[in-house]
Amino acid sequence: MAKKKASEKSRKEDKDLLKNTHIANAGEMIEQRITDTLEINYMPYAMSVILSRAIPEIDGFKPSHRKLLYTMYKMGLLSGGRTKSANIVGQTMRLNPHGDAAIYETMVRLSRGNEALLTPFVDSKGNFGKAYSRDMHYAAARYTEAKLEGICSELFGEIDKDTVDMVDNYDSTMKEPSLLPVTFPSILANVNLGIAVGMASSICSFNLKELCETTIELIKDREHNCIDTMPAPDFVGGGTILCNREEMEEVYRTGRGGIKVRAKYTYDKEFNCIDITEIPPTTTAEAIIDKVIERVKAGSVKEITDIRDETDKNGLKITIDLKRGTDADKLMQKLYRLTPLEDSFSCNFNILVDGYPRVMGVKDILIEWIRFRGRCVFRRVSFELNKAKSRLHLLKGLEKILLDIDKAISIIRNTDEESEVIPNLMIGFGIDEIQAEYVAEIKLRHLNREYILKRLKDIENLEETIKDMTDILSSKARVRKIIIGELNDIIKKYGTDRKSAILYTSEIEDEDTTEEIPDYPVNLFFTKEGYFKKITPLSLRMGGEQKLKETDKIIQSIETTNNNDLLFFTDRNQVYKARVSEFADSKASVLGDYIPAKLEMDEGEQTVYMVLTKQYEGFMLFFFENGKCAKVSLSSYATKTNRKKLIKAYSDKSPLVGMVYMKQEGMVVLETTGGRCLLLDTSAVAAKAMKDTQGVACITLKKNHKLSVVREYVEGEFVKPARYKAKNLPSAGAVISDEDVMKRNNVTFDGFE
């Protein structure tokens, strides 16, 4: 009973609590215009992502980068030993209101060990993973250590001199810099990627030495062409940049475009293998290996016996074992086309300038950075000038005291109360309170001649310094000269050679990228149900009877060589292209390759005719039930690209009866369901430009009659061929004579049925 009363009391208390904590409109549906919803709910989120998360600012950093590096600086990690990464992550949480995983991942990317940045800012120890590996994960923060790289002194050397604004952190408990006073254009020194709301940023990295030299030239001459001193980007993973001068200038001008990067490789003659040691920045070793294996399985790459990842402490290494006799250079040209061993870096130089996102070219970005750096130098000089003036003001007061030390000592000695010392000194020497306070704090040991002379000399030096700094603040040329000096110091301290080689497209445009295909005699067999065999003459002589399905038969048999193209026309008005070399040598004792599966045709699609060609000479003749014939040049099916499938290969307005490929003009036999026959000279049919043309009428059909049979004419097939020849088109043809019927019974013709 007591328990029941206690339970009822508890439920009543819960109800009272809910009444007291009621949230207005909670759970209720209210009407709101969609524009108001976007403005009130969505726009603040979008602006937060753009301004505070995804897009870098002119100093080259996103807020997460800046907060982490500033925390490490305040921890004293610019000098001294490393500390545990977990310690850094924990301290950074005072500035960055995100979880430890996100903060640690940011630090990993900034580290030298991860090899994601051309100019890393974090000196790391331990496993920080690799940017070029998808599966090589970094260790937990408790196992790794880090400190700031030496170049970070160029980020924080002036941060305590009022060079940038200091703002409150997220809970207003401490200050943090809104930007870092970088002494070099770090915005272009590293790869920087970000996806915001409705916009994104993708900035490639440039060699630090070339970048500083270009900035110096731009300061000296605003019309300087940046590409002259900085010919192409530079990536931490190296590789070879395929540089087209016009395209590169477009990227430099607009900040948009693509930069092609190839992997670098060496050929080991002893082991007959290719070692790939540098890859494009947009891919990983695992992605490359997966794609190569896929191509090998598909049969488009046949020269490879094995591929494996041999990456170790010495760096990236992908090894490809080759078949005997393979040309390594030609194989790599093929792999560049078929795999991510050649890939494009998409540029979108979108950065925040004064709180607004702007897509700018390289020159515009550097000009904005020069303005930003100029403001930093101006603020630093102003800070130092004020400090020097304050120091001079104190020394001026000291100078008056030092002229009559005995008087100063007498005033202090004869003053009864300590609080009256400062006022008495002010009255006695005509100095202000600040000067009097400074004088009163001087130690007795300093009241000697040496100290006095040094202080007087300091006054002279300070006056010269103040004069010089005042001149700097009034001269833009002096400010520019300071920036140039700082950039030259960066080049001397941190400048390195390029990692990415440059290959101009003009040097490779004549390069033969045509695949070398072994050429040897073969016999091709194509069956009615879509099976294909490629058999060498030797294998054909040694083999027995052709293996076929019970309902199948061979409809085309061709003697040719391995270096030719094949066109497979289907019942869906499509044609599929392949090479003879793409099919493995077969035997008569097997069914062969099933073409619909081999060429990945549409479900239920069947092949009906095969054409062998190399130069795409001759023409195709398509015959339809309505008596029309379409003549299409075979060159219409040739493509400059490696397209495997062409649609609208022939007309679908009337059912197809048959098709014939002819290299030159000749005779074709047409037969109707009414027993009539026409011997057609193909030269009488005009060729059409459109592949899916309906053609022209060739044979006149009676009601309910259709064209039923089409085949190439065989010399001697008819007793009197002139009987069936047409003088004009369309023609009704002639009824097949009894003599030809009797002769036909003893003749077997090959052709399309």
Between the CA atoms of 453, 459, 464 and 468, what dihedral angle is there, to the nearest 10 degrees?
A: 140
Question: Contact, 307 vs 273, CB < 8 A?
Answer: no
Between the CA atoms of 381, 386, 388 and 393, what dihedral angle is there, to the nearest 10 degrees?
A: 160
Question: What tokens were used for 357?
Answer: 């996102």
Question: Contact, 494 vs 182, CB < 8 A?
Answer: no
In our burial notation (b when 16+ CB lie closer than 10 A, e otherwise), range 644-675 reads eebeebbbeebebbbbbbbeeeebbbbbbeee
Beta strand 501-504 with 240-243: parallel, antiparallel or unpaired? parallel
Helix axes 449-473, 476-494, angle to 10 degrees: 100
Amino acid residing at 643: R
Between the CA atoms of 554, 558, 563 and 566, what dihedral angle is there, to the nearest 10 degrees?
A: -50
> What residue spans of 182-284 are helical by DSSP H?
208-220, 226-229, 245-254
> What residue spans of 129-283 are helical by DSSP H?
153-156, 208-220, 226-229, 245-254
Question: What tokens were used for 83?
Answer: 């500390």
Question: What's the CA angle centered on 740, arms 739 and 743, to 5 degrees?
Answer: 90
Question: Contact, 224 vs 515, CB < 8 A?
Answer: no
Amino acid residing at 409: I
DSSP-derived letter for residue 94 is T
Nearest to 454 by CA among 510, 382, 393, 402: 402
565 bridge partner residues: 579, 613
**Residue 650 is among the residues annotated as catalytic for this protein:** no
The residue count for the chain: 753
567 bridge partner residues: 577, 611
Nearest to 155 by CA among 128, 131, 187, 182: 182
Name every residue whose Cβ is closer than 8 Å to that of residue 667 and which is 6 or more positions away in sequence.
Answer: 679, 680, 681, 682, 712, 713
Nearest to 425 by CA among 417, 416, 437: 437
What are the phi and psi torsion angles at 203 (to 5°)? Answer: -115, 125
344: helix, strand or coil: strand
CA torsion sign, 631 to 635 to 638 to 640?
negative
Say if residue 241 is exposed, middle or buried (CB neighbours under 10 Å; 0-12, 13-18, 19+).
Answer: buried
Instruction: Give the span between the Cα atoms of 692 and 630, in whole angstroms.
Output: 8
Nearest to 729 by CA among 631, 617, 653, 636: 631
Instruction: Give the span between the Cα atoms of 173 and 169, in whole angstroms.
Output: 7
DSSP-derived letter for residue 715 is T
44 prior amide bond cis, ω within 30: no
Instruction: Give the span between the Cα atoms of 155 and 28, in whole angstroms.
Output: 52
Question: What tokens were used for 473?
Answer: 């603040």
**CA-based R_g, the chain, Å:** 42
Cα 540 from chain centroid (whole Å): 50
Question: Contact, 408 vs 425, CB < 8 A?
Answer: yes
Considering 42, 143, 170, 520, which one is annotated as catalytic?
Answer: 143
Query: Which residues are catalytic, by number?
Result: 143
